[in-house]
């Protein structure tokens, strides 16, 4: 199926033919790598930085993290950012996706106290990237909320939407002359789980089916305010683009009988964040509204656990995007069934998920290698949301380390082939790709045990040397030749 051209300049580039054209990246397609502040920077208390919820989790609830590790030093990119830029350049990366640490810029979360050394740090990084011909792509928020805002209740407190907007303004003001690509949030559908279980992601608060919905609701309202803020105050002068990064595993029906279960799962999780922004009608899709309302009633509640947008908010948030960032890792099989606590998102969804043991495994329990699911996911998104401009903001594979990472090489080449089919054969509007991740880094609750990096980092060596793995070499070849090498053909 061919989709309508929404962004002609991007699709025109895909209109060439020729031998192996399918394995060639369109002209202008951006290739690069991604990271996130807490996972790589270290410098957790450097020069006026405030505490954030991952500092708190790793310091005070350290039993939750594998090997009781912290991001205190991580890859020490706070000091070694020039190394990161050097390796990006060596790879031929055209862009670099990184996130900004809110508490490094605004130690207390609010904008009446700006930490100048924090501003200096990102200025240096951005300037180094630009000096080397690498386009910066900034994620405004990748999970490291200032602790002071958590102390106000964190994302379930709707006042955080204002704080987020003011934080974004500080970033646009200080960096927008040079940063032209912004994403407001990384994966609200995942970080809302910080309010789902006391054993989970920061802030690790146990309010399933309640706090998690409130949190993602505030985040969506914040996004709906940040986009027009940029349009109003900055776009004319800065000419940048603003989007959001959503992550989602493709749900494959276990058999045709379960088709609607998978559709429901997609609409519940991905749609829960995408529908308010990427459809004309806006608002949550009917699936979560109906299901959470019905369960809330069954539980004897007067109102629904799913918060509602006001009419104004629905209008405000539709169309608040220049592009959609997609993080893609793996697939699940969807079964009919009910599981999970009462109440919880899992139970509201009415899903049972599993994975096919025949799909190749990785070091991460949740990540099996299913490249064809990637093409399906890209197609589903294009169909559901009118083929918006999409960039793949994360895609990657974990192992336990080692330079000869042949499985990661095959993960990348197979996924890129599927993405190229989605572009060339299906007409999906993908304009760029950043691999997760430039470096081995702090993999949240898994600490440093699961490695996602293209470059190996020895976390016992104080100088944190970066060494390219085989996968970095293959991606270098791909970035430079702009095609999948013949030896990876089927
Ligand atoms: C991405 O989320 C994140 O954006 C990125 O920061 C992260 O490094 C990358 O994935 C790899 O995980 O087993 O309790 O530690 C993708 C979704 C989020 C799914 C973390 C797995 C593991 C939770 N992933 N989650 S835990």
Q: Is 80 exceeded by the pLDDT of residue 351?
A: no
Q: What is the pLDDT of residue 284?
A: 98
**CB within 6 Å of ligand 1 — which residues?**
36, 39, 186-187, 190, 247, 327, 329, 366, 394, 436, 443-446, 452
Answer yes or no: are the C-beta atoms of 75 and 25 closer than 8 Å: no
- 189-216: burial string, b at 16+ Cβ within 10 Å, e else: bbbbbbbbbeebbbbbbebbbbbbbbbb
Residue matched to tokens 């490094």: 104
In ligand 1, which atom is closest to the CA atom of 396? 11
Extract the tokens encoding 101. 């640490």
- pLDDT above 90: percentage of residues in the chain: 90
Ligand 1 pocket mutation, candidates 396, 397, 436, criterion most atoms within 8 A of CB: 436
Q: Is 80 exceeded by the pLDDT of residue 19?
A: no
Question: How many angstroms separate the CA atoms of 9 and 267, rounded?
Answer: 29
Q: Is 50 exceeded by the pLDDT of residue 488?
A: yes
Lowest-confidence segment of 135-139, 345-349, 480-484 by average pLDDT: 345-349
Q: What is the pLDDT of residue 352?
A: 74
**Each residue of 130-161: pLDDT tens digit?**
999 999 999 999 999 999 999 999 999 999 99
Q: What is the pLDDT of residue 163?
A: 98
Q: What is the pLDDT of residue 91?
A: 98
Q: Is 90 exceeded by the pLDDT of residue 261?
A: no
Residue 181, beta-bridge partner list: 137, 241
Q: What is the pLDDT of residue 21?
A: 56
The fold of the 21-488 domain, in CATH, is: TIM Barrel (3.20.20)
Question: How many angstroms separate the CA atoms of 136 and 125, rounded?
Answer: 9
Burial group, residue 292, by CB count within 10 angstroms (0-12, 13-18, 19+): buried
Answer yes or no: are the C-beta atoms of 37 and 105 closer than 8 Å: no
Angle (deg, nearest 10), helices 470-481 and 77-91 = 50
**Looking at residue 446, what DSSP letter applies?**
G
Q: What is the pLDDT of residue 62?
A: 86
The answer to whether 187 is a known catalytic residue is yes
Residue 250, beta-bridge partner list: 331
**Each residue of 230-259: pLDDT tens digit?**
999 999 999 999 999 999 999 999 887 788
User: What is the rounded average pLDDT for all residues in the chain?
Assistant: 94
The answer to whether 450 is a known catalytic residue is no
Question: Ligand 1 centre from 201 Cα, in Å?
Answer: 9
Extract the tokens encoding 406. 């042949």
- Residues 467, 443, 149, 319: what is their CA dihedral angle, to the nearest 10 degrees? 90
Question: How many angstroms separate the CA atoms of 69 and 286, rounded?
Answer: 41
Question: How many angstroms separate the CA atoms of 487 and 473, rounded?
Answer: 14
Q: What is the pLDDT of residue 337?
A: 82
Mean pLDDT, to the nearest integer, of 331-353? 89
Catalytic residue among 135, 187, 252, 414: 187
Q: What is the pLDDT of residue 258?
A: 81
**Each residue of 3-14: pLDDT tens digit?**
433 333 433 344
Residue matched to tokens 């940048």: 240
Answer yes or no: are the C-beta atoms of 244 and 321 closer than 8 Å: yes
Question: How many angstroms separate the CA atoms of 358 and 184, rounded?
Answer: 37
Q: What is the pLDDT of residue 285?
A: 98
Answer yes or no: are the C-beta atoms of 144 and 181 closer than 8 Å: no
Residue matched to tokens 């379960």: 258
- Domain borders along the chain are 21-488
3-state secondary structure string, 149-175?
HHCCCCCCCCCHHHHHHHHHHHHHHHH
In this prediction the pTM is 0.95
Q: What is the pLDDT of residue 10?
A: 39
Question: How many angstroms separate the CA atoms of 167 and 169, rounded?
Answer: 5
**Each residue of 394-450: pLDDT tens digit?**
999 999 999 999 999 999 999 999 999 999 999 999 999 999 999 999 999 999 999
Question: How many angstroms separate the CA atoms of 297 and 286, rounded?
Answer: 16
């Amino acid at each position: 199926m061919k989709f309508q051209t929404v962004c002609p300049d991007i699709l025109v580039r895909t209109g060439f033919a020729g031998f192996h054209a399918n394995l060639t990246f369109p002209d202008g397609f951006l290739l690069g790598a991604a990271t996130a502040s807490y996972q790589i920077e270290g410098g957790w208390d450097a020069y006026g930085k405030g505490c954030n919820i991952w500092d708190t989790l790793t310091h005070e609830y350290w039993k939750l993290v594998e090997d009781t590790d912290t991001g205190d030093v991580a890859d020490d990119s706070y000091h070694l950012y020039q190394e990161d830029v050097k390796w990006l350049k060596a790879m031929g990366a055209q862009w670099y996706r990184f996130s900004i640490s809110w508490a490094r810029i605004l130690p207390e979360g609010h904008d009446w106290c700006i930490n100048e050394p924090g501003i200096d740090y990102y200025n240096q990084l951005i300037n180094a990237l630009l000096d080397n011909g690498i386009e910066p792509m900034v994620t405004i928020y990748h999970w490291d909320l200032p602790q002071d805002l958590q102390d106000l209740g964190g994302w379930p407190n709707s006042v955080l939407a204002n704080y987020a907007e003011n934080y974004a303004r500080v970033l646009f003001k200080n960096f927008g002359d040079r940063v032209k690509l912004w994403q407001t949030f990384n994966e609200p559908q995942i970080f809302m789980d910080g309010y789902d279980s006391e054993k989970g992601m920061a802030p690790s608060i146990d309010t399933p089916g309640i706090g998690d919905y409130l949190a993602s609701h505030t985040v969506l309202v914040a996004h709906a305010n940040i986009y027009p803020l940029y349009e109003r105050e900055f776009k004319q002068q800065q000419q940048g683009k603003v989007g959001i990064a959503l992550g989602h595993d493709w749900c494959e029906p276990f058999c045709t009988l379960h088709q609607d279960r998978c559709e429901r799962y997609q609409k519940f999780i991905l749609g829960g964040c995408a529908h308010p922004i990427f459809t004309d009608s806006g608002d949550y899709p009917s699936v979560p509204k109906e299901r959470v309302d019905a369960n809330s009633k069954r539980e004897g509640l007067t109102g629904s656990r799913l918060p509602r947008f006001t009419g104004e908010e629905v209008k405000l948030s539709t169309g608040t995007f220049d592009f959609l960032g997609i993080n893609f890792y793996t697939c699940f099989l969807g079964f009919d069934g009910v599981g999970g606590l009462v109440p919880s998102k899992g139970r509201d969804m009415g899903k049972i998920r599993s994975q096919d043991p025949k799909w190749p495994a990785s070091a991460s329990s949740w990540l099996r290698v299913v490249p064809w699911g990637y093409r399906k996911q890209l197609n589903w998104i294009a169909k559901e949301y009118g083929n918006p401009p999409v960039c793949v903001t994360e895609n990657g594979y974990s192992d336990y380390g080692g330079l000869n990472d042949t499985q990661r090489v095959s993960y990348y080449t197979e996924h890129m082939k599927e993405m190229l089919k989605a572009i060339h054969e299906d007409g999906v509007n993908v304009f760029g790709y950043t691999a997760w991740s430039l470096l081995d880094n702090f993999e949240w609750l898994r600490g440093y045990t699961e490695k996602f990096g293209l470059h190996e980092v020895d976390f016992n060596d104080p100088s944190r040397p970066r060494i390219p793995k085989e996968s970095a070499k293959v991606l270098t070849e791909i970035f430079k030749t702009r095609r999948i090498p013949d030896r990876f053909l089927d």
